[in-house]
Amino acid sequence: MGKVVEKLVYERPKSLTDAHTHYCPGCTHGVSHRLVAEALDELGIRERTIGIAPVGCSVLAYYYFNVDFAEAAHGRAPAMATGMKRANPDRVIFTYQGDGDLAAIGTGEIVHAAGRGENITVIFINNAIYGMTGGQMAPTTLEGQKTTSSPMGRDISIAGHPLKMSELLSTLDGAAYVVRHSLHDVKHIRRARKAILTAFKVQLAGLGFSMVELLSTCCTNWKMDPVESLDWLRDNMVPFYPLGEHKVIDAVKDL
């Protein structure tokens, strides 16, 4: 019998609290929370970070992050983050926003924050639906996708086209790092983790606006089980929302 060596391979990041989340079983919010927390831990910046929660399913994110946190009005998190960062340039400021928050009611705020090159980090959860209010059509809902406010499927002639926010924001000169990743399998989750780390490094280096869009699931409102949801994301969202680095300025490559 050889000696038993205990090796800790998995623990809760210091940047998460031990609270039980209210998220539905199978929801990918838990994964993205953890990825953000791991990045804060790894960079050793938890103690000087302030997060901003949106209105949407992650409205209570402040209970789950062991980080100072504020709760914004719907869509206004980038403005609030701007105020915090301008008054406290030495703090790390990030927003955590859903698609309704960032791509509908808060479009003006996110565009101008990116345009100014606001030195903040944005975690953008795109699950193509309004979760908290019960599954209405989002600005990112796919054509033909059924929601409680597009019961026959999103009709482009009525509701117009879904917004591709990473592509849109990557056209702005102030954006330093804008990437899209997906949480539908382990390989992609690992890529997302690395991107989130990079996004915070961009802020620490003072390079300007950074955003990581995360394609996510909503099994409850998509009316699928968790595994079906991940498959649906892979088969439907990934083809429409191309993954990858939409904007990476040269200075980021040197990080």
What token pair was written down for 111?
């565009």
Cα 199 from chain centroid (whole Å): 11
38, 62, 236, 238: which one binds another protein (CB under 8 A): 62
108, 134, 242, 244: which one binds another protein (CB under 8 A): 108
* Residues making up the chain, counted from first to last: 255
91 binds another protein (CB under 8 A): yes
Element (H, E) at 177: strand 175-182
Binding part of the chain for another protein, among 48-56, 123-131, 170-178, 237-245 by CB under 8 A, reads: 48-56
- Decide whether 120 or 214 has the Cβ nearer to another protein: 120
Contact between residue 101 and residue 126 where contact means Cβ atoms under 8 Å apart: no
User: Least distance to another protein from the beta carbon of 253, Å?
Assistant: 29
24, 43, 50, 132: which one binds another protein (CB under 8 A): 50
43 binds another protein (CB under 8 A): no
233 binds another protein (CB under 8 A): no
User: Least distance to another protein from the beta carbon of 137, Å?
Assistant: 23
Element (H, E) at 99: helix 99-100
Binding part of the chain for another protein, among 84-92, 143-151, 184-192, 204-212 by CB under 8 A, reads: 84-92
Q: What's the number of CA atoms in the CB half-sphere (13 Å) around residue 21?
A: 22
65 binds another protein (CB under 8 A): yes
Query: Comparing C-alpha atoms, which of 109, 125, 147 is closest to residue 30?
Result: 125
123 binds another protein (CB under 8 A): no
Cα(35)–Cα(138) distance, integer angstroms: 24
Residue numbers 145-184 binding another protein by CB under 8 A = none
